Amino acid sequence: MQKLKPETIELNMLLEAIFVRYGYDFRNYAKASIKRRVLSHLSDAGCQTISALQHQILYSPQAFAKLLFKLSVNVTEMFRDPDFYLALKKEVFPQLLKRQRIKIWHAGCSTGEEVYSLAIFLTEEGLYDRCHLYATDIDDHALSKARDAIYPVKEMKAFTTNYNNAGGRASFSDYYRAKYDFAMLDKALKRNITFSNHNLACDSVFGEMDLIFCRNVLIYFNRELQDRVIGLFKDSLAENGVLCLGSRETIRVSKYTDVFEDMVPSQKIYRIKKQS
């Protein structure tokens, strides 16, 4: 057996305590990243050690809420990886066009930037009215920001560049109104989106999806949890359903690799194989 370092034991015990006390399961997350977040939270929490933090959060739900916020913060942007969106429009959208009703699940949507990116392109390609988008995340705070669709105006420049590189047909400024330091996205983009809390680590399948988006979420999980989640996606996809992962993620090392065929391997777009 590998001998664990004291700090690792402390971290594992903290994650166990969080699970037993509050039901949030971070035990199968990739450790290096979660440890960085925990360590950077120590000084904010006024604790010297991870063990001290464990004691604090066990007795104080308020203290736990602060830690949870730190652990679940995710950074995202609109049209991240423009080449991915170009491939999506070229290879996946034509397949969706054949359907009357299109169900899309965006798993781990965080503060919503990528959900709205997809909504914009579905609108531009005339698909939006046939779609329903289910956008889920583990973090209620992020979901509430996603529902608001209000982002710092200083980010609009980078989003505009991404939008243009991703082959946007209009002018990105048509999709938001700037007020003071903030930009509010067009409300029409929200009409077919349902935001809800869903935990990939323990919740169950979402039925009959034509397209599942889960980009740069799996990298935060260990192999075991990655397999669970890919299994969840497999069971949630309709016939010919498409799965989109982040540019450095792959299903090719998971135990479900044979269930999927490549659609655009360079952009990590996969399609579920026909059941034989």
The helix/strand/coil state of 270 is strand
Helix or strand holding residue 260 (H, E): strand 260-264
- Alpha-carbon distance 143 to 246, whole Å? 20
**CA terminus-to-terminus distance, the chain:** 42
Residues 223-262 close enough to bind other proteins by CB under 8 A: 223, 246, 248-250, 253
Does 32 engage in binding with other proteins (CB under 8 A)? Answer: yes
Query: How far apart are CB 54 and other proteins at their closest, in Å?
Result: 19
Q: Which of 8, 51, 56, 95 binds other proteins (CB under 8 A)?
A: 8
Report the candidate in 234, 239, 269 with the shortest Cα–Cα distance to residue 254.
234
Does 9 engage in binding with other proteins (CB under 8 A)? Answer: no
DSSP code of residue 92: I
Query: How far apart are CB 108 and other proteins at their closest, in Å?
Result: 11
Residues 48-87 close enough to bind other proteins by CB under 8 A: 73-76, 82
The structure tokens listed for 216 are 């740069």
CB within 8 A of 32, min separation 6: which ones? none
Q: Which of 64, 213, 220, 233 binds other proteins (CB under 8 A)?
A: 220
Kindly state the number of chain residues that form the binding site for other proteins, as judged by CB under 8 A: 24
Does 43 engage in binding with other proteins (CB under 8 A)? Answer: no
CA 82 to chain centre: 17
1-9, 64-72, 176-184, 230-238 -> range binding other proteins (CB under 8 A): 1-9
Cβ proximity to other proteins: between 82 and 199 the closer is 82
The C-alpha angle with vertex 253 and arms to 220 and 227, in degrees rounded to 5, equals 55
Query: How far apart are CB 238 and other proteins at their closest, in Å?
Result: 28
212 neighbors 237 (Cβ within 8 angstroms)? yes
Cβ proximity to other proteins: between 69 and 97 the closer is 69
Which residue, chain included where needed, has tokens 């996205």? Answer: 185
**Residue ranges binding other proteins (CB under 8 A):** 2, 4-5, 7-8, 30-33, 36, 73-76, 82, 216, 219-220, 223, 246, 248-250, 253
